[in-house]
């Protein structure tokens, strides 16, 4: 290595190793706000749903800027999901609705009444909905969210099929259902943030399992294929009594379909270095296993900085490039244990 060349930042734990990059090439005058969600389409283009003047920014997998859209449309970008047809489902918790858009940003369906929340904790959709996911059959699941404790199921054409959940800590109850995803079999996974768990349901809302050992899970995504992995973005402590405790959140946890922890990326606690996280909030994995992490770092900074000023270049988005050694080790792990749910 040339002595003037900066060594790459590596994040590694157990079977996993990533090179971390400030990867996106932003046009002049563009900046990322807090990133509510990230998604990857069938071409490995990356959609960054963020709280800035340009709410949706789209990049190719090399970080080249392709386009932006959504200016003046979204109130508070929170969640994004891209379907197999590359339709983009945008969940706006500030506007209490979900919009289905083309990859170029044309709105083709809206679920919910923009600007009109359902009554607080009524169970009716929506009151600050948080995320959306599609099942293999095309059914739509919406986590709802900050002003409800529900999951709503919709048909592909946007008709409400049913809902489940209520406030609480028991199985099937929620305390801020913050993110949601579906696997190839139609199971539904819900990041039950303030209950510090992932809950697993069948496609009709029947409780099946819960995964613990995660701290305030905010982001949730999975990598499809014969070796499915689940990625959980954990937020830092949200209560004053725990703020100075080490080893609580501000990291990404990688799990098997059984909920077994394989690795934790970002063990050094919250911070503004390239190898640290503040508040992972949205994630996506591309076809090569590279991980894209969006954060609400600017909003979360006061909770972890103990009075330190906001860094001028605090990161809210980065790419983690999975190294080949990870692929070999993960393959070995999946040969030595059953991964069927």
Q: Which residues contact 190 (CB under 8 A, 6 or more apart)?
A: 143, 151, 174, 177, 179, 180, 198, 199, 200, 201, 220
Write down the mean pLDDT value for the chain: 92
Sign of CA dihedral 63, 311, 37, 327: positive
How confident is the model at residue 104, as a pLDDT? 98
pTM: 0.94
pLDDT beyond 80 at 338:
no
The tens digit of pLDDT for each residue in 293-332 reads 999 999 989 888 877 888 888 999 999 999 987 666 666 6
Band the pLDDT of 197: cuts 50, 70, 90.
Answer: very high
How confident is the model at residue 124, as a pLDDT? 97
Higher pLDDT, 226 or 219: 219
Bridge partners (DSSP) listed for residue 188 = 182, 201
Residue 126 phi, psi dihedral angles, 5° rounding = -120, 155
Question: Judging by beta carbons within 10 Å of its beta carbon (0-12, 13-18, 19+), is residue 166 exposed, middle or buried?
Answer: middle
Torsion (CA) 269, 218, 68, 114 in degrees, nearest 10: -140
d(C-alpha 218, C-alpha 224), whole Å: 20
How confident is the model at residue 176, as a pLDDT? 98
Percentage of the residues of the chain whose pLDDT score is greater than 90 = 76
Identify which of 208, 194, 134 has the alpha carbon closest to the alpha carbon of residue 164.
208
Identify which of 6, 102, 58 has the alpha carbon closest to the alpha carbon of residue 292.
58
Residue spans of the domains in the chain: they are: 9-336
**SS3 assignment for the chain:** CCCCCCCCEEEEECCEEEEEECCCECCCCCCCCCEEEEEECCCCCEEEEECCCCCEEEECCCCEEEEEECCCCCCCEEEEEECCCCCEEEEECCCCEEEEECCCCCEEEEECCCCCCCCCCCCCCCCCEEEEEECCCCCEEEEECCCCCEEEEECCCCCEEEEECCECCCCCCECCEEEEEECCCCCEEEEEHHHCEEEEECCCCCEEEEECCCCCEEEEEEECCCCCEEEEEECCCCCHHHCCCCCCCCEEEEECCCCCEEEEECCCCCCCCCCCCCCEEEEEECCCCCEEEEECHHHHHHHHCCCCCCCCCCCCEEEEEECHHHHHHHHHHHHHCCCCC
How confident is the model at residue 282, as a pLDDT? 97
CATH of 9-336, one of 3.30.70.260, 2.120.10.30, 2.30.110.10, 2.60.40.10: 2.120.10.30
Band the pLDDT of 333: cuts 50, 70, 90.
Answer: low
The tens digit of pLDDT for each residue in 257-293 reads 889 999 999 977 788 888 899 999 999 999 999 999 9
The tens digit of pLDDT for each residue in 18-37 reads 999 889 999 999 999 999 99
Residue 114 phi, psi dihedral angles, 5° rounding = -55, 130
Question: Judging by beta carbons within 10 Å of its beta carbon (0-12, 13-18, 19+), is residue 30 exposed, middle or buried?
Answer: middle
How confident is the model at residue 159, as a pLDDT? 97
């Amino acid at each position: 290595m040339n002595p003037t060349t900066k060594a790459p930042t590596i994040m590694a734990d157990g079977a996993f190793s990533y090179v971390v990059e400030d990867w996106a090439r932003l046009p002049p005058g563009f900046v990322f706000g807090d990133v509510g969600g990230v998604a990857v389409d069938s071409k490995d283009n990356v959609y960054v749903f963020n709280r800035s003047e340009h709410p949706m920014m789209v990049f190719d997998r090399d970080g080249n800027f392709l386009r932006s859209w959504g200016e003046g449309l979204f109130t508070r970008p929170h969640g994004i999901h891209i379907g197999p047809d590359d339709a983009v489902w945008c969940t706006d918790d500030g506007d209490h609705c979900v919009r289905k858009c083309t990859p170029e940003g044309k709105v083709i369906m809206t679920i919910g009444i923009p600007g009109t929340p359902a009554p607080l904790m009524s169970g009716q959709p929506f009151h600050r909905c948080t995320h959306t996911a599609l099942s293999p059959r095309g059914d739509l699941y919406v986590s709802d969210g900050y002003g409800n404790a529900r999951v709503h199921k919709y048909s592909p054409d946007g008709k409400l099929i049913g809902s489940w959940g209520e406030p609480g800590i028991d199985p099937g109850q929620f305390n801020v259902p913050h993110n949601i995803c579906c696997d190839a079999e139609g199971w539904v996974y819900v990041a039950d943030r303030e209950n510090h768990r992932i809950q697993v349901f069948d496609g009709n809302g029947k409780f099946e399992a819960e995964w613990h050992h995660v701290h305030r899970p905010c982001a949730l995504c999975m990598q499809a294929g014969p070796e499915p992995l689940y990625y959980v973005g954990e937020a830092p402590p949200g209560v004053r009594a725990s703020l100075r405790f080490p080893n609580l959140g501000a990291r990404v946890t990688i799990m098997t379909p059984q909920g077994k922890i394989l690795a934790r990326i970002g063990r050094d606690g919250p911070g503004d270095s390239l190898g640290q996280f503040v508040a992972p909030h949205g994630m996506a994995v591309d076809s090569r296993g590279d991980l894209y992490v969006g954060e609400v770092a600017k909003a979360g900074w006061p909770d972890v900085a103990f009075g330190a000023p906001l860094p001028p270049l605090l990161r809210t988005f980065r790419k983690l490039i999975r190294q080949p050694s990870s692929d070999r080790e993960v393959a070995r792990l999946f040969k030595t244990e059953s991964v069927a749910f």
